[in-house]
Amino acid sequence: MRSTPCVGAIVLLLVLAASIGRAETPAATDPAMQELLADAETAPELTAALQCRDSGDDDAALAHLRRANATVKKKHGPNNLQQLPILELAGEILFVGGRYAEAVTPFERSVAIREPLAAEDNNKDQKVALASILLLLGKAYAETGNAGNAVSALTRAVDLFTATLGEDHEATQVARRALATASAGKGAG
């Protein structure tokens, strides 16, 4: 089993993102990202993607991520853990750039890969990571007018945060507010 980012780092990024309107995904602290950055084949593309993202050139960043993802898929096959940081970073870039409809696909793929890991009884980190991605996915759905999928994703996020972090945790409350906003048909909130 691959190591995962600590719950505290994910939740801190999530809460900070929600409070300032910036999306941050578990990829930001994921050890898998560090492994990809240490890999001779993926490091140049990921480094370039991060630099492009930081300079505001989202399209170039996404092009580098597509090439990195192709390399990872070639080496490890489709739908593997190594893709998570790439998918989540792509989703983050698209989401922050207001390209919500495009952000849905990488977030959905990330959810599909993370779900089996989160299903393990004692895997709190993966449950929180999954909830974080579901929150962003739900917000992306809401921004594109897909209220049904938004409510479904956000309900799952609230349930996972509640089960792992508790009812009163700030991440749970952020997800609960996003769910209320989406349920009222007001977008992502």
Which pLDDT belongs to residue 18?
46
CA-CA distance, 83 to 113, in Å (whole number)? 9
Q: What domains lie within the chain, and their CATH numbers?
A: 7-183 (1.25.40.10)
Give residue-wise pLDDT tens across range 31-69. Answer: 777 788 888 898 899 999 999 999 999 999 999 999 999
CA-CA distance, 76 to 39, in Å (whole number)? 13
pLDDT, the chain, mean: 85
Determine contact, residues 66/124, Cβ cutoff 8 Å. no
Which pLDDT belongs to residue 81?
87
Which pLDDT belongs to residue 11?
45
The list of the chain residues with pLDDT below 70 reads 1-30, 121, 186-189
Torsional class of 4: left (φ above 0), alpha (ψ -120 to 50), beta (otherwise): beta
Query: What are the structure tokens assigned to 41, written together?
Result: 């084949």
Which pLDDT belongs to residue 157?
97
Which pLDDT belongs to residue 15?
46
Which pLDDT belongs to residue 80?
86
